[in-house]
A and B are shown apart, each in its own frame.
Chain A
Amino acid sequence: MFDVLFERGLDGRLYGLYLLSGLGWTLVLAFFGWWIAFLIGIVVGVGRTASNKIVSIASRLYVEVFRNIPLLVQMFLWFFVLPELLPSTAGSWIKQMPPPWGAFIPALICLALYTAARIAEQVRAGIEALPRGQSEASAALGLAPSQAYRFVIVPQAMRLIVPSLTSEVMGIYKNTSVAMTIGVLELTAESRQISEMTFQTFAAFGSATLIYLSLALCAYQLMTYIDDKVRIPGTGMTKRRRLLFVAAGGGKARRHE
């Protein structure tokens, strides 16, 4: 059934290689996109809980804008609109970027900023789920807010949200497929090409599906591994641990005002 992958396309390459090349672009987009998104997401997420009004409003604005516009529209904005809005020299320079990069860079920026907004909300939820007592104890010890965040709040919040970050990881590699609308030849785009050229629709889409499923499995395994590695000894769901959680001042969501 998957024999088509071993046939050759018009340019002499095996169709299987088309898929591999698509997978390559998918992975590169997802990988670099994720790390950029992660860094920005933590910053914005912390910003959402900051006591400084300007910072928290700016963060709120960022999240609202990048979460409420569909990813496809954002792709179009980065690819079609941004070069037009920039001063003519910068705009022309962008538009003259050679083919793969001309589409790849906007796609990467778009995906990263979109995912960062979603990660920011997870980070915010994690911070707010921490017991109020944590920030109170930090303050009582004389830690400045930035130190409290850096050494106490954020490390705990990040561990809390590892499971929900799993769905963001799985989300980013699925969202790379939207980049095909601006010309990035990622996995889904290549599978459609193969299907259009060979009419072996089932094999073409089937291979892509199997690859995505494998990616899902890998992502899930990876996140489970990470969850295990960063687990704080003594945390978990037993009654005794719940009591400890409560003793730490737990159970109430905290809000920075």
Chain B
Amino acid sequence: MRQAAGRPDAMSDLDFTVVLRAWPYLLSGLQFSFALTVTAFAIGMVLGTTFALIQHHEVPVLSQVVRSYIALIRSIPLILVLFWFFFLVPVVLGRFVGGGRSIPIGPTYTAFITFGLFEAAYYSEIIRVGLRSVNKGQFEACQALALSSFDTYRSVIMPQVLKVASPIILSQTIILFQDTSLVYVLSLTDLVGAASKMAQLNGRLVEMYLTVAVIYLAICSAASQCVAVLRKRNELPRVVRQ
């Protein structure tokens, strides 16, 4: 594997112009990474909130199932989860929709579904902790005002939870963005996949991978700064001020 790299004898032999030529292709890989991140975020947050609410309300059978799912997903490596879903998603879809035969839906859609379901387990825990930290009095005030459950969560509880949890949610999303690189094992073309394919063509492994590292570093560092800013800004003003 390693011998195939076009081998410069010293640092000065590095040629970063190949990066410029490969840039459009790298960019398309990056686009895929972003698309995957955004979709997984959306699916993960919606599902995660649902899971958190189910656990918070201790719905009889469902909350046990949800709890087990989350514990399972959080205990095994993401690569193994990818392999599992890659195998299971067509089978499950086939059973429910295709009338028995497994539907091959292609690695891309499998990846989107997998990451969404994977992140749901992580977002769910963040939101569940957030829900627990909301003062019980807020729920009682809503009850006293005869607000429906739906309005209580929509207008009072969830806004507070999301505000307080937003730095942690953003941190988790940064981790998600980094995790999307693992679609490499499914031979999908995200940023790392694009660099890898280019490296095979132009033999410039070093330049390609260093560039990828720098791109990730730039994006994730910037996002981490946003997390720090959010953390400072979103400290909910304490209501009881004497």
Binds A, one of B7-15, B40-48, B59-67, B230-238: B7-15
**Measured CA separation A68–B174 after assembly (Å):** 8
By beta carbon, the residue of chain A nearest B4 is: A80
Contacts of B221 in A (CB 8 A): 64, 68
User: Are the CB atoms of A209 and B216 closer together than 8 Å?
Assistant: no
Query: Is residue B178 within 8 Å, beta carbon to beta carbon, of the partner chain?
Result: yes
User: Are the CB atoms of A205 and B87 closer together than 8 Å?
Assistant: yes
Contact with B along A62-79 (1 / 0, CB 8 A): 001101111111101101
A-B contact count (CB 8 A): 113
By beta carbon, the residue of chain B nearest A83 is: B2
User: Are the CB atoms of B206 and A73 closer together than 8 Å?
Assistant: no
Contacts of B1 in A (CB 8 A): 80, 183
> Closest Cβ of chain A: how far from B128's Cβ, in Å?
16
> Closest Cβ of chain A: how far from B101's Cβ, in Å?
16
User: Are the CB atoms of A212 and B77 closer together than 8 Å?
Assistant: yes
Contacts of B31 in A (CB 8 A): none
Binds A, one of B19-27, B103-111, B133-141, B180-188: B180-188
Query: Is residue B79 within 8 Å, beta carbon to beta carbon, of the partner chain?
Result: yes
| Residues of chain B in range 51-65 having any CB-CB distance to chain A below 8 Å | none
By beta carbon, the residue of chain B nearest A177 is: B77
> Closest Cβ of chain A: how far from B41's Cβ, in Å?
17
- Among A69, A174, A178, A188, contact of B213 (Cβ-Cβ < 8 Å): A69
User: Are the CB atoms of B209 and A80 closer together than 8 Å?
Assistant: yes
> Closest Cβ of chain A: how far from B82's Cβ, in Å?
10
**Measured CA separation A73–B209 after assembly (Å):** 7
User: Are the CB atoms of A68 and B209 closer together than 8 Å?
Assistant: no
- Among A64, A76, A85, A213, contact of B75 (Cβ-Cβ < 8 Å): A213
Contacts of A67 in B (CB 8 A): 220, 224
Contacts of B181 in A (CB 8 A): 70, 72-73
Contacts of B226 in A (CB 8 A): none
Contacts of A176 in B (CB 8 A): 77
Query: Is residue B156 within 8 Å, beta carbon to beta carbon, of the partner chain?
Result: no
Contacts of A87 in B (CB 8 A): 10
> Closest Cβ of chain B: how far from A185's Cβ, in Å?
14
| Residues of chain B in range 171-209 having any CB-CB distance to chain A below 8 Å | 174, 178-179, 181-182, 184-185, 192, 205-206, 209
By beta carbon, the residue of chain A nearest B84 is: A205
**Measured CA separation A203–B75 after assembly (Å):** 18
User: Are the CB atoms of B84 and A85 closer together than 8 Å?
Assistant: no
User: Are the CB atoms of B77 and A95 closer together than 8 Å?
Assistant: no
> Closest Cβ of chain B: how far from A121's Cβ, in Å?
11
Contact with B along A202-235 (1 / 0, CB 8 A): 1001001100110010000000000000000000
**Measured CA separation A76–B84 after assembly (Å):** 24
**Measured CA separation A244–B184 after assembly (Å):** 52
- Among A68, A84, A180, A213, contact of B224 (Cβ-Cβ < 8 Å): A68
Contacts of B2 in A (CB 8 A): 79-80, 83, 95
User: Are the CB atoms of A170 and B75 closer together than 8 Å?
Assistant: yes
Query: Is residue A166 within 8 Å, beta carbon to beta carbon, of the partner chain?
Result: no
Contacts of B11 in A (CB 8 A): 85
Interface centre among A64, A68, A74, A180 (most CB of B within 10 A): A68
**Measured CA separation A216–B74 after assembly (Å):** 9
By beta carbon, the residue of chain B nearest A68 is: B220
User: Are the CB atoms of B79 and A84 closer together than 8 Å?
Assistant: no
- Among A80, A202, A205, contact of B5 (Cβ-Cβ < 8 Å): A80
User: Are the CB atoms of B209 and A81 closer together than 8 Å?
Assistant: yes
Contacts of B205 in A (CB 8 A): 80-81, 84
Query: Is residue B83 within 8 Å, beta carbon to beta carbon, of the partner chain?
Result: yes
Given contact pairs A73-B213, A178-B79, A216-B75, a sample of 9 additional A-B residue pairs in the complex whose CB atoms are under 8 Å apart: A68-B216, A73-B192, A80-B206, A191-B80, A195-B83, A205-B84, A209-B84, A212-B77, A212-B80
Binding site for B on A (CB under 8 A): 64-65, 67-74, 76-77, 79-81, 83-85, 87-88, 95, 170, 174-178, 180-181, 183, 188, 191-192, 195, 201-202, 205, 208-209, 212-213, 216
Q: List 29 A-B contacts (CB under 8 A).
A: A64-B224, A67-B220, A68-B178, A70-B192, A71-B178, A73-B192, A74-B213, A77-B209, A77-B213, A81-B205, A81-B209, A81-B210, A83-B2, A84-B5, A85-B206, A88-B10, A174-B75, A174-B77, A177-B79, A177-B80, A178-B182, A181-B184, A188-B77, A195-B83, A205-B83, A208-B80, A209-B84, A212-B75, A212-B76
Binding site for A on B (CB under 8 A): 1-3, 5, 7-11, 72, 75-80, 83-84, 87, 174, 178-179, 181-182, 184-185, 192, 205-206, 209-210, 212-213, 216-217, 220-221, 224
